């Protein structure tokens, strides 16, 4: 994650945005988590979403995080992970 120092610097704001949208237990996965990111990499975030939240809330979370961080963010709810990739993603995920 050295390429994304703003993520560490903005962690309190990122967590506040997530809380506002009913998301918790934020974890980074994908190329940034594994150190294989490139200039076009997005931030892959895995979240637990409160039961009362909807797809619109998830979209709002992504948009607010992109506005805050200044780059593309992909937000995935743990419950939507396909069984074939669930273990791999959970094993590589790094707590934010």
Q: Encode the chain (96 residues) as per-residue pLDDT tens digits.
A: 445 667 888 999 999 999 999 999 999 999 888 888 888 888 999 999 988 877 788 899 999 999 999 889 999 998 899 999 999 999 999 999
Reduced to 3 states, what is the DSSP secondary structure of residue 41?
coil
Q: pTM score > 0.75 for this model?
A: yes
User: Taking each helix axis from N to C terminus, what angle separates 11-20 and 55-69, rounded to the nearest 10 degrees?
Assistant: 160
Domain count, the chain: 1
Res 32: pLDDT: 87
Q: What is the CATH number of the domain that holds 62?
A: 3.30.460.10
Question: How many distinct helices (H) and strands (E) make up the chain?
Answer: 5, 4
| CA distance linking residue 14 with residue 87, whole number of Å | 25
Domain residues for the domain of 81 are 5-95
**Interacting residues of 16 by C-beta distance below 8 A, sequence separation 6+:** none
């Amino acid at each position: 994650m050295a390429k994304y120092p703003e993520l560490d610097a903005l962690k309190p704001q990122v967590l506040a945005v997530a809380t506002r949208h009913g998301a918790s237990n934020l974890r980074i996965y994908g190329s940034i988590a594994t150190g294989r990111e490139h200039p076009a990499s997005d931030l892959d975030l895995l979240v637990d979403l409160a039961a009362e939240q909807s797809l619109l809330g998830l979209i709002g979370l992504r948009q607010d995080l992109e506005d805050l961080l200044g780059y593309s963010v992909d937000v995935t709810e743990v419950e939507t992970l396909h069984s074939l990739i669930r273990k791999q993603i959970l094993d590589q995920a790094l707590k934010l």
